[in-house]
Structure 1
């Protein structure tokens, strides 16, 4: 605690009505309940309450339903008009993607948040949705798995978790907005929310023009080494991004020959000899355990982490010290599950998840608003008037800050001429600087739109004072520097709080601050590796399998934004700032929930099943006509399987009573998969998917990330933001998955050039006039061109 004021839950006193079903909306409601809101759940009809949540009659599905319902009050099902009346007594209403509820008719005091698989503005609206379909359409599975296929989908439930936390961000933004006479109408597309995972790859394609492809398990060109490798005991994840890190890795593993080999000096050269590189790594790693090598990595500042299995997660020393796992009460006993990873130090979320409780139908609705529906108004962006100082670099921190800019906040991005954002470039040669290569990074531009760029040397006393002056006039700060860096600059939370007592500061690091592993050097790949998620991906006999080059960055950015906004809502309501200690590995840990439940409840069931899932048979990715073309489909119930049988010409299967059960289909899964592959192989994937959807079956072609920018469905959904920036020129960027009052939110100014807004922003936010500004430039405190002191090779 930072003062003597007793903490209260961040959202205590707020009332939320959740209209189920849908797992994304239920997860958003769970996050709101964990943050302290009173969440009441209902449905238009009782069967809809658990639609998309409990998808089969098995203990893991039932437990997942309990996890999503924890802390909520369950109201009886009621008709649309009763829900409309009830909504007037709530601050927020969540409308689930499977609810069949008319969100526009509801009248909460602040806002409604309406979730759907595909937005009502999207040409794909009405498609059957599922995690697998969303993943196929965002391009990520295409890059994962064996070179000859099939591609590997991400784990189950991931798409709905991303949709749910995005809806939570929208809800918190609405709670921070200036009060309005009518409720804000916020809409979130789950499919669009998941495109945050694909942004980096889209921008890489804009940069390189190279189509995406699979290179094999745990291989992501041209990065090397980035993967998961066996040790004497256990597995480690390793990521090397810079020349300094390669040299440090060779020193740590005693690979003197490799260190001296100029043919391995760059990541591109190493990728060309990856078999040789990985053979050398595995031979060295066999000398020690994974735990020992992770300690060596911390000592040498190389991103090396243990890749835990399910039991390793449950027994993890840092997860235990941080209470990263909570206890969920189930009818048969308690289990451990990932805790909501908001990192709130003054208003922590609970570590014990209380089961949902039922309440009778006469639950009071609270004070009613006027019966008549008010006329629609055009609300200002919800975060207009809020100011954030952004000390972050790379992807996760800048994404969290960009989301605030997209929602209307003023974001002042701090860089330094001697240490610019690392996504501007890694190798700062004189030629790179002379050609202004640091202004051409498409991914830097994508992550930093809508921000004001200020260049300050924070190692100087004057630079530190400017930063403090900026914070004095701000509401919040975000940073993702290495452990100890902000304190070294004199800008840690205690020092910022001295100039702005109610400031909210979010620190985003791999394992969080203040623990034995806080100094772990990390990238987005490290976060996926360290979460243990790869232990549940792929098939037996293969290494734990990564599903993304930098999975932890966009996921960490979403949860970092959510934690920051939660603290800001508490500050708005109670006047108290706080330190938000985000562990981005804990954000990735959310995705392990189904596997952890399975490990504790049905330990005999294998956790690595390729593209198969326990709730649906068939469920997979199948070959289609053309080189490396694939089709994703899943059948949710017996009626869907009967429809599939008609397409396959297998009326005998349709008439077999055993195959009308999930268990019966599971016993014949190999034969069913083979029949689907024979049917799909001669067809174009989009054609086959359309045929399946017409029969009511969830299906989609497996797209490549480089195809997304030209996807006519995404263009028809008005998703993209087209910006023109000095030096780098035009760029098409992915807009936020949040609409307000029917209009897509999103910042419309391009990412700043290095120091572009220094004079104007420092005058506006720190009171620095022209003469003082010129003097600071002359002293080198403010730099308008790079003079990097790192990675010169």
Structure 2
């Protein structure tokens, strides 16, 4: 029995966003009915294709669903579609991206008749604003979201990654909205209606960069292949055999890296101690360490790096993933049947240990119904919700208590999303070692100046939370943590494996205190992985995921598409996993442990090439900025310095309009260019003409001229440019909130909106260190003022970070 067994889902329209959202529901037992036109979902024709012409992308996005064919020319089409929706629990609507010949239907009227119905609709840019109605593709949206301009060679063009990164991210957000609504409905609430903007969903990847660059006042730029502001090295490098992913963020990691390579001069240079300090000297530093790396294999360096606690990892080819027994054992790679072809694809990354997802499945042929192992009998979803039991403006996770043992980006994004959806999140830090995103500097001057309260990225990632401090290394702090956990619904940590267990806060201990507890460990590789002790950052996760082998120019190095890409992806997948386990806990009374491996969360982006390799034994083709289907497709220079625009002709009519716009009416009527394959033979010539047209125009001017005739185009923005983006401002995406030590600060909203209106308001700023000690310890745990004062004197709690010297004195008991 899956967690969502008995839940009926209808998916209409065509988009990677809605397909992936529905796929996640199917993974955990939901009966997903995918509505298709007679020729099938257009995504069935998305490359890469198997030897028999089946779409590997479609397979990944749609296995374990059923297919229902509804012909729009059938006089009974409306009746059939209405009946299907009125008999379901969830409607997932991708028609605004591509209607796929689906008949128009009045969803609002159906919801009046079926108040427990949960709905979500996806669109590229939302229902209003300057970009609403823009023609778009995955790449043009990512360009606008600040995810392309900083990738690629210094001289350009910026490099795009293959489809469907944007759709998967947005599908994950859509699933989070639905899962929170399913939970709320099990508590007696009515159904909810949501919208998700694919553009805004992808800002989760760039929000840290945009606010950091704005706070520092630094002009960011492309630094070259596998080089990224604001840290170095954080890239992929060639070895004697294979490629190696390297990230050295802390001074200690840099010193260890230099020691490993025998570069004492670099190690001892105080001007190179901090990652940002090394950025001006990238070329000089690389000239010294690149030849050293070629002396040994990637695997040999990895073994030594593990001993030295350096975040390095071998960069696998797609074939390496298929040969990795751990990936199969954990369900990261699962079997898939596509017609008569048997292959492998990426399984669910939500690694629940009590209620596992389905391991693989079959892709439905058009009109094919899958055999379901479960029915709605005795399902908690078979009973209609009770409209009015819960106030309609109440957040879906209101009343849920979360204990947050996370730091940095991935874990705090997970818990921030829970908080944004209404959960009461209590963040636990220590005055000896607060969240490292407050700053890694514990020198006396930094601490005296309370610089740890002025870290913008910490404040962005920890809004809507309460904050307390507890020294978990001491019995009193540990006892208080256990009392909090006993009252909680969820515990989340993103430390290395076994850190909480060594404190005495492992799941084996906590489940005795609280049998309904959902606890998630968000380690890099998973608790039972052979890599479990490997240090890792978000960049490490991308390096080890297989994705770099499909990104970049033909014949080039494996290419990273974002720095720290794995952090937000891991955080959102962690949120999705926790919500699934929370639904199960509330309907069954059983808590469980979630062993989330963040590196597996990156693998969906490489899923179709895993399938192609497994069936045909063919390595992925790198297209650079070109596309296996759309011709032309590329990133073109505009007027000014380093200004670029992504342009794509997604069909033959769009190509004709593009040819007319750039003054090539002869191309618009040339029969040999009517098809993408015909244009591919002369794409160099086509791209040269497009480049000549864009080079004389401002990037925004070019985008709006192209969009005026419905040609997919998006300016390649810097992340910091988004703070002034008029579309985001028109949609109130940024909310200003006052934070102590900083003042008025803009914050990004969630990309999911209830009722299609304004985003949920941000309720409170990020807590200052230990801000809610008194409130939580007295009101929630019942401690007296005298008890709290004693904890403060013993420095078990506090509101001021300790410097290095003070930490040593506390450790010595002085």
Normalising by structure 1, report the TM-score: 0.94
Show CA shifts across 1:100-135 (max 9, x none).
Answer: 655434435241111111111333221112101210
Displacement, 1:233?
Answer: 0.4
Displacement, 1:792?
Answer: 10
Matches of 1:392 and 1:713 in 2, distance apart?
Answer: 33
Find the residue that maps to 1:616 and give its secondary structure. coil
1:463 aligns with 2:461: no
Show CA shifts across 1:59-109 (max 9, x none).
Answer: 476232232221111122264454333323222111113236554344352
Deviates more, 1:313-322 or 1:442-451: 313-322
Residue aligning to 2:760:
745
**Structure 2 unaligned residues grouped into runs of 5+:** 72-76, 809-814
Residue aligning to 1:255:
263
**Which of residues 85, 91, 99 is equivalent to 1:87?**
85
Matches of 2:619 and 2:775 in 1, distance apart?
Answer: 61
1:579 aligns with 2:586: no
Show CA shifts across 1:184-209 (max 9, x none).
Answer: 11111111111101111111123111
Displacement, 1:493?
Answer: 0.9
Displacement, 1:267?
Answer: 2.1
Displacement, 1:153?
Answer: 1.4
Residue aligning to 1:162:
169
Residue aligning to 2:108:
104
Matches of 1:201 and 1:621 in 2, distance apart?
Answer: 22
Matches of 1:789 and 1:80 in 2, distance apart?
Answer: 70
Find the residue that maps to 1:709 and give its secondary structure. helix
Residue aligning to 2:22:
29
**Which of residues 169, 175, 179 is equivalent to 2:182?**
175
Find the residue that maps to 2:55 and give its secondary structure. helix
Residue aligning to 1:331:
339
**Which of residues 8, 11, 14 is equivalent to 1:15?**
8
Matches of 1:447 and 1:619 in 2, distance apart?
Answer: 35
Change (3 A) 1:456 1:116: same
1:644 aligns with 2:658: yes
Displacement, 1:155?
Answer: 2.6
Equivalent residues of 1:110, 1:175 under 8 A apart: no
Change (3 A) 1:208 1:792: farther
Change (3 A) 1:252 1:765: farther
Residue aligning to 1:506:
520
Residue aligning to 1:5:
none
Deviates more, 1:117-126 or 1:341-350: 117-126
Displacement, 1:606?
Answer: 5.3
Residue aligning to 1:351:
359
Equivalent residues of 2:7, 2:382 under 8 A apart: no
The residue correspondences of 1:546-695 to structure 2 (distance < 5 A) are 546-600=560-614, 607-695=621-709
**Which of residues 393, 415, 419 is equivalent to 2:433?**
419
1:450 aligns with 2:464: yes
Normalising by structure 2, report the TM-score: 0.91
Displacement, 1:53?
Answer: 5.6
Find the residue that maps to 2:425 and give its secondary structure. strand
Displacement, 1:552?
Answer: 0.4
1:70 aligns with 2:63: yes
Matches of 2:807 and 2:795 in 1, distance apart?
Answer: 20
Change (3 A) 1:604 1:577: closer
Displacement, 1:770?
Answer: 2.1
Change (3 A) 1:456 1:369: closer
Displacement, 1:368?
Answer: 11
Change (3 A) 1:84 1:21: same
Show CA shifts across 1:124-172 (max 9, x none).
Answer: 2211121012101111111011111101113310000001011000010
Equivalent residues of 1:184, 1:379 under 8 A apart: no
Displacement, 1:460?
Answer: 0.7
Matches of 1:544 and 1:56 in 2, distance apart?
Answer: 20
**Which of residues 538, 552, 557 is equivalent to 1:524?**
538
Deviates more, 1:234-243 or 1:88-97: 88-97
**Which of residues 209, 228, 236 is equivalent to 2:217?**
209
Equivalent residues of 1:136, 1:632 under 8 A apart: yes
Change (3 A) 1:275 1:443: same
RMSD after superposition = 2.6
Matches of 2:323 and 2:669 in 1, distance apart?
Answer: 48
Residue aligning to 1:120:
127
**Which of residues 478, 482, 492 is equivalent to 1:478?**
492
Deviates more, 1:451-460 or 1:306-315: 306-315
Change (3 A) 1:284 1:214: same
Displacement, 1:421?
Answer: 0.3
**Which of residues 760, 774, 778 is equivalent to 2:789?**
774
1:54 aligns with 2:40: no
Matches of 1:180 and 1:274 in 2, distance apart?
Answer: 58
Matches of 1:574 and 1:378 in 2, distance apart?
Answer: 25
Change (3 A) 1:643 1:58: farther
Show CA shifts across 1:321-343 (max 9, x none).
Answer: 42310111122421111111001
Equivalent residues of 1:318, 1:517 under 8 A apart: no
Matches of 1:142 and 1:676 in 2, distance apart?
Answer: 19
Deviates more, 1:113-122 or 1:223-232: 113-122
Residue aligning to 1:759:
774
Matches of 1:599 and 1:135 in 2, distance apart?
Answer: 26
Show CA shifts across 1:371-393 (max 9, x none).
Answer: xx99x983311111111100000
Matches of 1:594 and 1:320 in 2, distance apart?
Answer: 16
**Which of residues 260, 266, 272 is equivalent to 1:264?**
272
Change (3 A) 1:63 1:730: same
Show CA shifts across 1:644-684 (max 9, x none).
Answer: 11112223322232322222122222111111111111011
Residue aligning to 1:540:
554
Matches of 2:330 and 2:619 in 1, distance apart?
Answer: 29
Equivalent residues of 1:531, 1:585 under 8 A apart: yes
Deviates more, 1:290-299 or 1:272-281: 272-281
Equivalent residues of 1:139, 1:702 under 8 A apart: yes
Equivalent residues of 2:339, 2:363 under 8 A apart: no
Residue aligning to 1:302:
310
Show CA shifts across 1:437-478 (max 9, x none).
Answer: 001111100000000001100111111111111111110011
Displacement, 1:429?
Answer: 1.3
Matches of 1:201 and 1:117 in 2, distance apart?
Answer: 22
Equivalent residues of 2:240, 2:298 under 8 A apart: yes
Equivalent residues of 2:521, 2:595 under 8 A apart: yes
Deviates more, 1:597-606 or 1:123-132: 597-606
Q: Paired residues, what number?
A: 781
Matches of 1:295 and 1:61 in 2, distance apart?
Answer: 40
Matches of 1:792 and 1:255 in 2, distance apart?
Answer: 31
The residue correspondences of 1:123-202 to structure 2 (distance < 5 A) are 123-178=130-185, 182-202=190-210
Matches of 2:571 and 2:593 in 1, distance apart?
Answer: 17
Equivalent residues of 2:409, 2:461 under 8 A apart: yes
Matches of 2:682 and 2:806 in 1, distance apart?
Answer: 56
Matches of 2:428 and 2:2 in 1, distance apart?
Answer: 32
Find the residue that maps to 1:229 and give its secondary structure. strand
Matches of 1:714 and 1:639 in 2, distance apart?
Answer: 30
Equivalent residues of 1:86, 1:365 under 8 A apart: no
Displacement, 1:704?
Answer: 1.2
